[in-house]
Amino acid sequence: MPLLPSDTPLPSADWISNKNRDHGGPKNQANFTMQLVIPCETQPGENRVSATPETVKKLVRLGADVVIEAGAGVGAGISDADYEAAGASIGSDRAALLAGADMVLRLRKPEIDEISQLKAGCIHVSYLDPFNEKDLIKAFASQNVTAVSMEMIPRSTRSQKNGRAELSGQPCRLCGGDARGAVHA
């Protein structure tokens, strides 16, 4: 049985070729903007953040609207001004940030009550411990949120060199490609 009915038009992939690219975004989806939200980590003692300004700059160049929760990078020595210089905007209303997010990038799993703040169709990327956190996974499913568990993504030599600070890189390429109809290896 085919995955799509035969009369379903497939998205154009004209943005895959470098000669057709304009700052990395697809020409046939000019109105497409994915809002990526990077919230503050809430676990006591967690000083890391899921993206560096360098990563944010790359995501913005690809057409993403990156919003960082105010103070998210402070523990890692990254100021809000550093993120703004990279092209991100800064938000202080956590509930509004989560409610408007197309994708949430974080390190630690969220509290279960926070999942209900995410809109249906959102993609949540973090370490989730899915085999031990069955209620958390059920909450994602009932909210119709796609949960990407970082510990379940195979590590390559390249990603090991980048380290955990670049959490957003690999799943963003995968999920962003899915959202844009791209084929990725």
Q: What is the pTM assigned to this prediction?
A: 0.69
- pLDDT of 160 > 80? The answer is no
| CATH (one of 3.30.70.1140, 3.40.50.720, 3.90.78.10, 3.30.110.60) for 32-180 | 3.40.50.720
Q: Tokens 């960082």 map to which residue? A: 68
Give the C-alpha separation, 56 to 62, whole Å. Answer: 10
The mean pLDDT of 24-31, rounded to a whole number, is 49
How many other CB atoms sit within 10 Å of the CB of residue 91?
Answer: 18
Q: What is the residue-wise DSSP string for 103-147?
A: EEE-SSPPPHHHHTTSPTT-EEEE---TTT-HHHHHHHHHTT-EE
Q: Are 52 and 165 in contact (CB under 8 A)?
A: yes
Report yes or no: 112 and 139 within 8 Å, Cβ to Cβ: yes
Quick one: residue 23, left, alpha or beta (phi over 0 = left, psi -120 to 50 = alpha)? Answer: left
Reply yes or no on whether the pLDDT at 15 is more than 80: no
Name the burial class of residue 139, with classes exposed (0-12), middle (13-18) and buried (19+) by CB atoms within 10 angstroms of its CB. Answer: buried
What is the average per-residue pLDDT within 164-183?
54
Residue type, 174: L
Query: Tokens at residue 147, please?
Result: 């949960």
Written as six digits, the tokens of 23 are 């700052």
The full set of domain ranges for the chain reads 32-180
For residue 122, give the amino acid letter: C
Task: Give CA–CA dist 19/127, Å, rounded.
Answer: 37
Q: Report, as an integer, the average pLDDT of 150-161.
A: 73
- Beta strands per DSSP E along the chain: 35-38, 65-69, 89-91, 103-105, 123-126, 146-149
Structure confidence by residue, pLDDT tens digits, 69-107? 999 999 999 999 999 999 999 999 999 999 999 999 999
pLDDT, tens digit, for every residue of 49-69? 999 999 999 999 999 999 999
For residue range 129-146, what is the model confidence (pLDDT) as tens digits? Answer: 999 999 999 999 999 999
